């Protein structure tokens, strides 16, 4: 959720931290803060609001020094305010902390610390951490941090500084924390909750695993890792991430969301760049498994539900889908012959990681479809496929979703022994998406957005493979435009949803050239006969449509092409309603808390 940046190097730290933090705004944008350490003194700047609205030129002289931290907040404890913004300090101002995650036992610890004479200035759970470090200060900085985090329950990533030390300490349990290393004569080090923070400087990274600590020494220009439980040193591999800085920039687009929608011209094809032997090997694992599950959250969850339909239709296989937050409730059915396919853009989603942890306890094999190399999900899986979408910074997932759909479809065809047929279909689909995404197509959808952007309610129907895309369409519209949108299976209209239709109510019908086409058209007619305004997303026009958005006929890949125009519509609805589609209210990109 929150964005964390730490820096040690030969460059004045504050400008580096400021720019790095702006690149993490998608992780939290209700408040922000910076701190640098210079001549054994902390210099702190905090404020409410979005960091992108701040001007660094107004306060550079306030933050001297060559090491420091920054934080962009997504509030969990305490309202967005300057007082609740990070960093937080202890009573004496000797220790300073930024934090991502939730401390589950903070009330108990806060009461204990108050009894010991500590005073607090915020409503956050984070503020207890520097005070706990203060409690153990006589042990030295490193040991004090170890003792303090040993008292914490929950999922967190923490970066701590001491006024009397030139070391920066990071600790991780359940929330991502990544080290970036810039090789030069005098090394520069970064600590961040996501790679784009330092991608302008380096793409060489080391990952912290759970219950590990990293200590970066400014004077020695050294780095070491400890296991908190065993207290021993841990060797880490330096990994080169194949992302480039330009992939994480807007590159002339007004918003990241539109840029990432348009990148689907390329990203679907990149998702297919998989080793065929690996695909066939995974297909064999799926075919031989005694019970297979898909799991994911939000958009990835809808992709998984679509996968359930795709595997049934293409491969004749029953694969169960369970949303990750509910998956642990199914542990009774799991055995060492079960297979779990986990889908996540970030690879750091807390509920997904908890789902695989519960599965691993029963000996379940894990296959992951993930976008971030070296992420927690990637490293914890038995087999991992990268979807190769590149950095996705808009909170609303677009290109990652279609890449996940493409890879799941490819796996389904491989399970059916038709890998080459599936690959041909998806290459053709990628080519047709390239043709779709042109200025005229976008303009046509924007005209629709102008017609309906003042509506309060919007509904989407689909059947078969496109029922999950109706659910996903609703998520897209909800999260960026704040219109109340709901997706339904077309056949369920008569069981309640028709009561919601008034004259002029917009309803999107997702149609494919498949065996349920006529049924969806009939459902759309039911809505229209009650006054609904029908928006058809379909390969062919139909008299029932009041507005038609053409999509290509791509057979079993229809979920990929049918969701894209709704992504564009959601984007333009958001802009016309004065919403920022990159940073929807109350949401953040990577949900690393339960």
- DSSP label of 263: T
Strand residues in 277-435 grouped as ranges (E): 292-296, 320-323, 339-344, 365-370, 383-386
How many residues does the structure list for the chain? 594
- Active-site option among 167, 365, 423, 589: 589
Contact partners, residue 227, CB within 8 Å, separation at least 6: 211, 212, 234
- Active-site option among 2, 304, 415, 507: 2
C-alpha to C-alpha distance for 169 and 177, rounded to whole angstroms: 11
Whether the ω angle into residue 332 lies within 30 degrees of 0, i.e. cis, is no
C-alpha to C-alpha distance for 554 and 305, rounded to whole angstroms: 19
Contact partners, residue 151, CB within 8 Å, separation at least 6: 105, 109, 132
For every residue of 38-104, DSSP letters joined together read ETTEEEEEEEES-GGG--GGGSGGG--SSEEEEEEE--SSS-SSTTTSSPEE-TTS-EEEEEEEEET
* 304 given a catalytic annotation: no
C-alpha to C-alpha distance for 37 and 161, rounded to whole angstroms: 8
| Beta strands 339-344 and 320-323, pairing class | unpaired
In the three-class reduction of DSSP (H, G, I as helix; E, B as strand; rest coil), residue 127 is classed as: coil
* 507 given a catalytic annotation: no
- Closest Cα partner for 280 from 418, 90, 170, 388? 418
Please list the active-site residues. Answer: 2, 589
């Amino acid at each position: 959720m929150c964005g964390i940046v730490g820096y040690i190097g030969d460059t004045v730290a504050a400008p580096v931290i400021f720019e790095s933090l702006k690149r993490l705004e998608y992780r939290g944008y209700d408040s922000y803060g910076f701190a640098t350490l210079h001549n054994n003194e902390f210099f702190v700047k905090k404020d409410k609001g979005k960091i992108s609205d701040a001007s660094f030129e107004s306060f550079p002289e306030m933050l001297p020094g060559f090491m420091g931290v920054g934080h962009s907040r997504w509030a969990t404890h305490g309202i967005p305010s300057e007082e609740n913004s990070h960093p937080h300090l202890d009573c004496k101002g000797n220790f300073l902390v930024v934090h991502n995650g939730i401390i589950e036992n903070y009330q108990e610890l806060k009461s204990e610390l108050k009894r010991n004479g500590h005073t607090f200035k915020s409503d956050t759970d984070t503020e207890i951490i520097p005070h706990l470090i203060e409690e153990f200060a006589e042990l030295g900085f490193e040991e004090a941090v170890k003792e303090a985090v040993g008292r914490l329950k929950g999922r967190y990533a923490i970066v701590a500084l001491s006024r009397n030390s030139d070391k920066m300490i990071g600790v991780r349990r359940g929330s991502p924390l990544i080290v970036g290393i810039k090789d030069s004569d005098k090394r520069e080090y970064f600590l961040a909750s996501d790679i784009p923070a330092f991608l302008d400087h380096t793409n060489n990274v080391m990952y912290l695993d759970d219950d590990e600590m990293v200590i970066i020494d400014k004077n020695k220009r050294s780095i070491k890792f400890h296991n908190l439980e065993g207290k021993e040193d841990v060797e880490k591999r330096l990994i080169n991430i194949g992302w480039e800085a330009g992939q994480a920039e807007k590159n002339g687009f007004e918003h990241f969301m539109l840029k990432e929608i348009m990148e689907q011209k390329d990203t679907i094809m990149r998702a297919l760049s998989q080793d065929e032997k690996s695909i066939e090997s995974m297909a064999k694992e799926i075919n031989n498994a005694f019970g297979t599950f898909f799991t994911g959250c939000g958009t990835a969850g809808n992709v998984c539900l679509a996968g359930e339909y795709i595997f049934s239709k293409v491969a004749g296989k029953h694969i169960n889908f369970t949303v990750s937050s509910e998956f642990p409730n199914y542990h009774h059915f799991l055995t060492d012959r079960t297979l779990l396919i986990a889908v996540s853009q970030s690879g750091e989603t807390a509920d997904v990681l908890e789902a695989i942890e519960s599965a691993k306890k029963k000996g379940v094999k894990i296959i992951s479809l993930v976008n971030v190399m070296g992420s927690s999900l990637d490293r914890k899986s038995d087999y991992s496929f990268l979807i190769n979408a590149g950095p996705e910074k808009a909170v609303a997932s677009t290109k990652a979703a279609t890449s996940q759909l493409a890879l799941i479809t490819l796996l389904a065809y491989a399970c059916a022994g038709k890998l080459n047929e599936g690959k041909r279909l998806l290459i053709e689909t990628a080519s047709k998406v390239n043709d779709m995404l042109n200025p005229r197509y976008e303009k046509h959808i924007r005209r629709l957005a102008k017609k309906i952007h003042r509506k309060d309610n919007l509904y989407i129907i689909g059947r078969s493979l496109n029922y999950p895309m109706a659910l996903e369409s609703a998520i897209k519209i909800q999260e960026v435009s704040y219109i109340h949108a709901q997706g339904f299976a077309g056949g369920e209209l008569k069981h309640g949803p028709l009561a919601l239709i008034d004259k002029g109510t917009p309803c999107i019908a997702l149609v494919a050239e498949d065996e349920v086409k006529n049924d969806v058209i009939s459902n759309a007619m039911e809505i229209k006969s009650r006054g609904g305004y029908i928006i058809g997303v379909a390969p062919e026009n139909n008299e029932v449509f009041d507005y038609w958005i053409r999509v290509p006929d791509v057979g079993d890949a229809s979920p990929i092409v049918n969701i894209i125009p709704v992504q564009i519509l959601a984007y333009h609805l958001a802009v016309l309603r004065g919403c920022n589609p990159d940073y929807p209210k109350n949401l953040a990109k990577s949900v690393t808390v339960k």
